[in-house]
Amino acid sequence: MGFPGTWMTESESVVYRVVPKCACSTIGQIMYYSDHGTFFDGDIHDAQDGLHKWALEHSQGPITRNVQGHRSYAFTCVRNPYTRILSSFFDKICGIQRNGRRYRGNLVPKLTYEYGIEVGGEDGKQEFDQIRSFRRFLLFARDTIRWRRPMEPDIHWSAMSGHVSTFIWNGGQYDKIFWTEQFNDGMQEVLDNIDTAHAVDLANIPRFNESEGHGPKRAHPVEDYFDDLSMHLVYEIYKQDFELFKYDFENPGNKMPIGEIDLDEVHAKLGE
């Protein structure tokens, strides 16, 4: 299986396990900049060189040797499950992607037909009942994760613990897991623990939110999207994410963590 979703600087200064919808574009650009003194021109997910990625065949050997020998500082970044699934809905389901098309081709028509989901018209810009459509999307997301139908779960809404765990299963060990909600503090701790060819000043690094502007703006506070049933579905899907990464299940309006992440607990529970 190897190390899917793992990126590493070419200098091997640091290793990062990507978790979709958790500041991965910004983190990838920081890693690229730390080696080259410039940002990648475009979406860092499209970069074919300048950064080792497991998806690139020539990177698999260096990543495997580094991770299994724990030669470099390794980290990942997580996000509140409530805001992450909402972001996935507005970006991937309602939004037009950077190629000018809908995400995954016929996915949205299928959701419209089978789940009654609205997405704001052809361009995603018309008004629609966001709350009702999001709650129907949650049913779909649960069906994909629980029963793998009508399709396999997508990386953008599958549980963070699933992404984080593959790194551990194959011999990887995290030195740091930090929260998107306290990004600068967490990323600074990573930078303080590694040697980079080019200094990174987090205060002046732009946020590379590649999903920004893809879809309609969220019209309501986060908590308005989650009634009792929605909260139950979210807990069914993301129970381990709430527990391991210390987020507040009881209050969808509180995006901040409520405890400290215990790396020993994460390695023990996700390495089983």
82 part of a folded domain: yes
133 part of a folded domain: no
> What pLDDT sits at residue 101?
83
Q: What SS3 class is residue 77? A: strand
Question: pLDDT tens for residues 185-234?
Answer: 999 999 999 999 999 999 998 888 755 566 788 999 999 999 999 999 99
H-run or E-run covering 16: strand 14-17
Domain of residue 210, residue span: 1-97+155-216+239-272
pTM of the model: 0.94
In the chain, the number of structural domains is 1
141 part of a folded domain: no
84 part of a folded domain: yes
Question: pLDDT tens for residues 132-180?
Answer: 999 999 999 999 999 998 888 999 999 999 999 999 999 999 999 999 9
60 part of a folded domain: yes
138 part of a folded domain: no
- The proportion of the chain whose per-residue pLDDT surpasses 70, expressed as a percent, equals 97
Query: Residue 53 to residues 31, 59, 60, 130, 259: CA-CA distances in angstroms?
Result: 12, 6, 7, 36, 32
202 part of a folded domain: yes
Q: What SS3 class is residue 230? A: helix
d(CA 111, CA 97): 17
66 part of a folded domain: yes
Structure-block tokens of residue 249: 């299940």
Mean pLDDT of the chain: 93
For residue 100, is pLDDT > 90? no
